[in-house]
Every structure is written in C-alpha cells, then in structure tokens.
Amino acid sequence: MTSPVDRGISGKDGKLLAVANTETPGTPAEIADITKWTYDEEVARSKYASSSTGGWKRTVAGQKEWSGTLEGVCQSGQKAPFASGDYVDAKLQGPTTGDAITGTICIGTVKFETDIEEGKELRYTCDYDGDGAPTKTGIFAKPTVEP
C-alpha cells in the first residue's frame, strides 16, 4: 500500500483569480468555470564552441519568459472573462491557497468553441504572455538546494 506522500498531487482544486483591468486595482476575484490553466516558463539559450571548449558546445542562458493558456466554460448570461489585449493581474492557484503563480499577463488569442452537432457547452480558450517576472509560491517555488 502506498502512502499519501507517494501519490501525485491532484489539480482538482486549482483556480484562477484575477483583476481584469490593471488600471483599476482591486481584490482578485475567482473567475468562474475555469476548467484548465497551463503555465510555461522558458529561457532563451545560445550555444557556442570555441578553441577552449574541447570540441563540445557550451550553452548560455539568456532572458526568461512565461506564457500559458486558460480554458473555461461559458454559462448562460455570462460574458467572456477576457478579451484580446487585456492586461490582467492573475493568480494561477494550485491545489492549496499557498500554491500559486502570480503576475501580470497579457491576453493574446481568445477562441470560442461550440459543438452544434453534439450540443455541448460553449467553451473558450485564451493564450497569454507574462508581463515581467512572476511570483511563485508553495509547490511552484524554486526548490532550495542545500550546499
């Protein structure tokens, strides 16, 4: 029998909290009916070889960036939570309130999908790019390496 420590962590309690207009500061509110969010972080890398690398390429890390997607379901009487070009103060919340990625995002593409044949719910997907460095806490924070 495996202990709870040996199991993966469920994302079922994940949320998106946001202030949809950073020109009007306010308390982040939960965006209803989010079904999925993703977070991608990457660094630009440059490779080089020289007379001092012994026939091997070296890699130099450059600027970092972050981006992702937000997916949700539209409910009757509800308006789309975001539009292309919106800057949003967002909190991507994980399994607990202490697990979060917080920062300003810029909404890029907004897509709506409806399945007329099956009559499924109206869904939306937004992609976003981070604007500046995010703050990561809890499970998302960079681990401390002991010397």
Give domain status of residue 47, yes or no: yes
What pLDDT score was predicted for residue 75? 80
Q: How far is CA 98 from the centre of its chain?
A: 16
Q: Is the pTM of this model over 0.75?
A: yes
Query: What is the Cα–Cα distance from 36 to 137, expressed in whole angstroms?
Result: 19
Q: Residue 63 belongs to what domain range? A: 29-139
Q: For 112-134, what is the mean pLDDT?
A: 91
Q: For 43-69, what is the mean pLDDT?
A: 95
What total number of domains does the chain contain? 1
Give domain status of residue 116, yes or no: yes
Give domain status of residue 115, yes or no: yes
Query: What is the Cα–Cα distance from 31 to 14, expressed in whole angstroms?
Result: 11
- The CATH number of residue 132's host domain is 2.40.30
Query: What is the Cα–Cα distance from 92 to 13, expressed in whole angstroms?
Result: 11
Q: For 87-94, what is the mean pLDDT?
A: 90
Q: State the pLDDT confidence band at 6, using cuts at 50, 70 and 90.
A: low
Give domain status of residue 21, yes or no: no
Q: Which residues fall within 8 angstroms of residue 6, CB to CB, at 6 or more apart?
A: none
What pLDDT score was predicted for residue 147? 64
Closest CA to 92 of 54, 52, 47, 128: 128
Give domain status of residue 8, yes or no: no
Q: Is pLDDT of 24 > 60?
A: no
Percentage of residues of the chain with pLDDT beyond 90 = 50
Give domain status of residue 18, yes or no: no
What pLDDT score was predicted for residue 32? 78
